[in-house]
Structure 1
Amino acid sequence: MSLLSVRDLTVKFAMRSETVTALDQISFDLGKGERLGIVGESGAGKSITGFSLMNLLSRPGYIDKGKILFGGEDIVQLSEARMRNIRGNRMAMIFQDPMVTLNPVLTIGQQMVETLMAHRKLSRVEAEHISVLKLREVYIPSPEERMGQYPHELSGGMRQRIIIAIALLLDPELIIADEPTTALDVTIQADIMELLLELCQSNKVGLILITHDLGVVSQMTERTLVMYAGRIIEAGPTREIINDPQHPYTQGLINALPQQTLPGHRLKQIPGNMPSLTAIPQGCPFNPRCEYATDVCRRVLPETVHFGQVEVACHEVSRLHGSANEEQSA
């Protein structure tokens, strides 16, 4: 049985003049200890997916339909009290900015100890001991001293390590990391990602990594979902998607990587912008930006088809796949 199974998840936002769809019937699975990447530009629906999995959506956003089965239990149907028991305890989230996550008026020790005591029947001494061990596990120097410090007294990289330590405090089965290195220097980003990978592998924790960086995904994850305008447009093994992308959007993301351009040449980019939720194009949402778009792409929403080990929602790939099947049948 999968650790996490998402089926036809649809999230909507009730705006003043209309209701818009932020996630459109997305489905995927995550096995125990598996690492999954979710990639796409800003506005693709990546973070909304993460918040939905934690049942942290607030009005005007809401889950319209679908199931989120975590350990066989549909968290969409759970009470807030039951959900609080799962958050932090069995699933944890690492947010983009550690200064927003950490309470500025509480010491690091207070925040870690209170988290432990809220979920476990521990004495304060026991909670402090576990907190120090977790700080040491994420390579925080002088952890006993850091317990008495406030977030503003620490560097950005140190704060993010502490966020990871807090996420691991209660030995969760799943960690959702939403752009965990956005606020950090490039030199520190690689260290944080390496640490997160090491800890997930050693503790056999499932990881969902939300990012716009395909380079990071290629090093961190086993499977990848590519999202566009609230839909999953390509999904499969990370190696397959990186080495042989099928959807034109995925191809564009990979071509836009700096290492794909010769020194001294202009970086490649996908023309246009992600559509607004209030103005999703008819047919394939990517068609206004796609050089391969046809009349069918502008009229009909593509269905997801299997192409080797990858699932892709694209009329062009569907036709090529159909042609290949016909040739094999002949």
Structure 2
Amino acid sequence: MSLLSVRDLTVKFSNRTGALTALNGISFDLARGERLGIVGESGAGKSITGFALMNLLSQPGFIDGGQILFEGEDVTQMSKKQVRDMRGNRMAMIFQDPMVTLNPVLTIGQQMVETLRAHRKLSFEEARQIALVKLKEVYIPSPVERFEQYPHELSGGMRQRIIIAMALLLDPKLIIADEPTTALDVTIQADIMELLLEMCQSNQVGLILITHDLGVVSQVTERTMVMYAGRIIENGPTRSIINDPQHPYTQGLISALPQQTQPGQRLKQIPGVMPTLSDMPSGCPFHPRCDHATETCKSQVPDISQSGESFVACHEVHRLQKELASEAAQ
């Protein structure tokens, strides 16, 4: 049985005229201990997916349909108590900004102990010892001293290590990391991602890494899911998607990476912008930005089909791959 199985998940946001669809029938699975990357531009639905999995959507957002089966239990049907027991305990989330996540008026130790005692029957000293062990695991120097400090007394990288330690406090089966290195400089980003990877591997924890950075995805994840306008448009092994992208959008993302351009040349970019929820195009949502779009693309939403090692939602993918193979053979 998969650790996580998502089926036809639809998320909407209410407005004055009805509801706008933010996630449109997405489906995927995550095995125990597997590391999955979710990539795409801003507005693709990546973070909404993470919030929906944790049942953290607040009004006007709501889950309109589908299933989120976590260890065989449907998260969408859980009571409030069941959801509270699941969050932090069996499924944890690392947010973008640690200063927003951490309570500024409580010490690091108070927050870690409070988290532990909310889910376990522990004395203060027992919780303290577990917290100190976790701080050591994420290579926090002088953990006893850090335990007594407030968030503002720590650097950005240190705070993010604290967040990872807190996510691991209760030995969850799954961690959802939403852009965990956005607010950090490049050298600290690499350290944090290396730490997160090490923690997941050593504890056999499943990881969903939400990011726009394909470089990070290539280093950390085993499988990658590319999202566009609330839909999954490509899903496959990370190495395959990086080295042999099938969907024109994925190809555009790879081509836009700085390392794909010669020094002194203008960076490549995908023309146009992500459509808004209130102005979603008919057919394939990517067709207004796609050089290969046909009349079919403009009128019909593509089904998922296999191409190479990936599963792709594109009407023209097989034709394009035949053309590429023909060009390579000449």
Range class of TM-score, shorter chain: over 0.9
> For 2:6, what is the secondary structure of its paired residue?
strand
Answer yes or no: is 1:210 the counterpart of 2:199.
no
C-alpha deviation, 1:306, in angstroms:
1.0
| Distance (whole Å) between structure 2 residues aligned to residue 323 and residue 111 of structure 1 | 57
Is contact 1:13-1:60 (8 Å) kept? yes
| Counterpart amino acid of residue 47 in structure 1 | S
C-alpha deviation, 1:138, in angstroms:
0.3
1:117 maps to which residue?
117
C-alpha deviation, 1:321, in angstroms:
7.3
1:72 maps to which residue?
72
2:159 maps to which residue?
159
C-alpha deviation, 1:17, in angstroms:
2.1
**Equivalences for residues 209-248 of structure 1 within 5 A:** 209-248=209-248
TM-score, normalisation: structure 2: 0.96
Count of residue correspondences: 324
**Deviation readout 1:206-240 (Å, 9 max, x if unpaired):** 00000001111011000010000000000011111
1:57 maps to which residue?
57
1:182 maps to which residue?
182
- Classify 1:202/1:265 alpha carbon distance in 2 versus 1 (closer, same or farther; 3 Å): same
C-alpha deviation, 1:187, in angstroms:
1.2
Is contact 1:68-1:75 (8 Å) kept? yes
C-alpha deviation, 1:308, in angstroms:
2.8
Seq. identity, %: 77
Is contact 2:246-2:308 (8 Å) kept? no
| Counterpart amino acid of residue 205 in structure 2 | V
RMSD value over aligned CA atoms? 1.3
**Equivalences for residues 260-299 of structure 1 within 5 A:** 260-299=260-299
1:19 maps to which residue?
19
| Distance (whole Å) between structure 2 residues aligned to residue 176 and residue 318 of structure 1 | 33
| Distance (whole Å) between structure 2 residues aligned to residue 152 and residue 52 of structure 1 | 30
C-alpha deviation, 1:18, in angstroms:
3.0
1:253 maps to which residue?
253
| Counterpart amino acid of residue 317 in structure 1 | V
| Distance (whole Å) between structure 2 residues aligned to residue 197 and residue 16 of structure 1 | 43
Is contact 2:36-2:221 (8 Å) kept? yes
| Distance (whole Å) between structure 1 residues aligned to residue 180 and residue 323 of structure 2 | 42
Unaligned runs of 5+ in 1: 325-330
**Deviation readout 1:142-181 (Å, 9 max, x if unpaired):** 0000011000000000000000000000000000000000
> For 1:106, what is the secondary structure of its paired residue?
coil
| Distance (whole Å) between structure 1 residues aligned to residue 252 and residue 322 of structure 2 | 24
| Distance (whole Å) between structure 1 residues aligned to residue 250 and residue 320 of structure 2 | 17
**Deviation readout 1:235-277 (Å, 9 max, x if unpaired):** 0111111110000000000001010000111111111110000
| Distance (whole Å) between structure 2 residues aligned to residue 50 and residue 200 of structure 1 | 18
| Counterpart amino acid of residue 132 in structure 1 | L
1:170 maps to which residue?
170
C-alpha deviation, 1:318, in angstroms:
4.4
| Counterpart amino acid of residue 189 in structure 1 | Q
1:32 maps to which residue?
32
Is contact 1:116-1:127 (8 Å) kept? yes
C-alpha deviation, 1:317, in angstroms:
1.0
| Distance (whole Å) between structure 2 residues aligned to residue 108 and residue 304 of structure 1 | 46
> For 1:262, what is the secondary structure of its paired residue?
coil
| Distance (whole Å) between structure 1 residues aligned to residue 259 and residue 286 of structure 2 | 24
> For 1:22, what is the secondary structure of its paired residue?
strand
| Distance (whole Å) between structure 1 residues aligned to residue 323 and residue 65 of structure 2 | 35
Is contact 2:7-2:28 (8 Å) kept? yes
| Counterpart amino acid of residue 294 in structure 1 | T
C-alpha deviation, 1:319, in angstroms:
4.4
Answer yes or no: is 1:5 the counterpart of 2:14.
no
**Deviation readout 1:22-72 (Å, 9 max, x if unpaired):** 000000000000000000000000000000000000111100000000000
| Distance (whole Å) between structure 1 residues aligned to residue 71 and residue 323 of structure 2 | 40
Unaligned runs of 5+ in 2: 325-330
| Distance (whole Å) between structure 1 residues aligned to residue 139 and residue 272 of structure 2 | 43
Answer yes or no: is 1:127 the counterpart of 2:144.
no
| Distance (whole Å) between structure 2 residues aligned to residue 15 and residue 311 of structure 1 | 33
| Distance (whole Å) between structure 1 residues aligned to residue 209 and residue 180 of structure 2 | 8
2:139 maps to which residue?
139
| Distance (whole Å) between structure 2 residues aligned to residue 267 and residue 213 of structure 1 | 16
| Distance (whole Å) between structure 1 residues aligned to residue 270 and residue 323 of structure 2 | 28
TM-score, normalisation: structure 1: 0.96
- Classify 1:187/1:323 alpha carbon distance in 2 versus 1 (closer, same or farther; 3 Å): closer
